[in-house]
Amino acid sequence: MKISNKEYQKFSKQIILKKIGIIGQQKLKSAKVLVLGMGGLGCPLSIYLASLGIGTIGIVDNDKVELSNLNRQIIYNINDLGKYKVDVAKNKIKLINKNIIIKSHKIRVNKNNIEKIIKNFDIVCDGTDNFKTRLLVNDHALKQKKILISAAVSGFDGHIFKFNFKKKTPCYRCFLPEIPEQNNNCESEGVIPTITGIMGTLQANEVVNSILNFNSNMEKKMIVFNSIKMNFRSIHLSRNKNCSNKC
Ligand SMILES: [Zn+2]
């Protein structure tokens, strides 16, 4: 995909990196990345995807902006209260890069629409807030052989994992076969805003690594970050022979 003179100027500070160059920028422009959930993770994630020059971005959410969102969902402000998140986000992402193709879906992901939503994207980023949706997204990303980059936050902790389902790999269900009874999310547990920013940004970072084929060592691994101790821990994920996905 061709890079215009204006785009060359706009992205010059990343294009001069030998590992990116014009070819890398073209790959970023050709990429199609889906963001599920436009909350604390989806906001920084989509801002970075836009500012990096990702050519096609899908955004999915059916919530409206509430006052209690504003401490961490950094795309929105006081003027956006009561408006649909995807409508506000679409306009603001366009201001970062007007050439982006944005496909917005004002819906909640469920088992009836998931297949169609993820079909036209190369990379699926999950920033939804519950185990049920995360497992559903995992199962369908696996079925359609996508790259899945999933993150979650609670309290002062965040975690991120990536599965490249084009290859043989464990899946999220290997690690979490059933939906846990207790659903830890921001609504019930509370969350420190900075952790959502950090984990959403790590997702965007891993999108770049995936598109440009950088070896980030994220395979078969979950990275856990604690914002108080400021440490990253890595947990090895292995295939579960009883996984219902037979992955
Ligand atoms: Zn599995």
Residues 61-108: tens digit of each pLDDT:
999 999 999 999 999 999 999 999 999 999 999 999 999 999 999 999
The band of 177, judged by pLDDT with boundaries at 50, 70 and 90, is: confident
Residue 186 has a pLDDT of 61
Q: Which domains does the chain have, with CATH numbers?
A: 31-236 (3.40.50.720)
Residues 212-237 have a mean pLDDT of 94
Give kind and range of the element (H or E) at residue 205. Answer: helix 193-211
Contact 209, 160 (CB under 8 A): no
Collapsed DSSP state (helix, strand, coil) of residue 13: helix
Q: How far is the CA of 235 from the centre of ligand 1 (A)?
A: 16
Q: Residue 220: is its pLDDT beyond 90?
A: no
Q: What is the pTM of this model?
A: 0.96
Residues 119-164: tens digit of each pLDDT:
999 999 999 989 999 999 999 999 999 999 999 999 999 999 999 9
Q: DSSP secondary structure string, 101-121?
A: EEEEE-S---TTTHHHHHHT-
Q: How far is the CA of 244 from the centre of ligand 1 (A)?
A: 7
State the virtual CA torsion across 145, 45, 187, 112 in degrees, nearest 10: -30
Residue 181 has a pLDDT of 75
Rounded to whole angstroms, what are the CA distances from 29 to 59, 124, 154, 189?
A: 17, 16, 33, 38
Write the DSSP symbol of residue 67: G
Collapsed DSSP state (helix, strand, coil) of residue 165: coil
Contact 118, 146 (CB under 8 A): yes
Residue 187 has a pLDDT of 64
For 113-243, strand residue ranges (E) read: 123-126, 147-154, 157-164, 221-226, 231-236
Q: How far is the CA of 11 from the centre of ligand 1 (A)?
A: 38
Rounded to whole angstroms, what are the CA distances from 35 to 61, 174, 192, 209?
A: 9, 23, 21, 16
Residues 112-122 have a mean pLDDT of 97
Q: How far is the CA of 175 from the centre of ligand 1 (A)?
A: 7
Q: How far is the CA of 142 from the centre of ligand 1 (A)?
A: 9
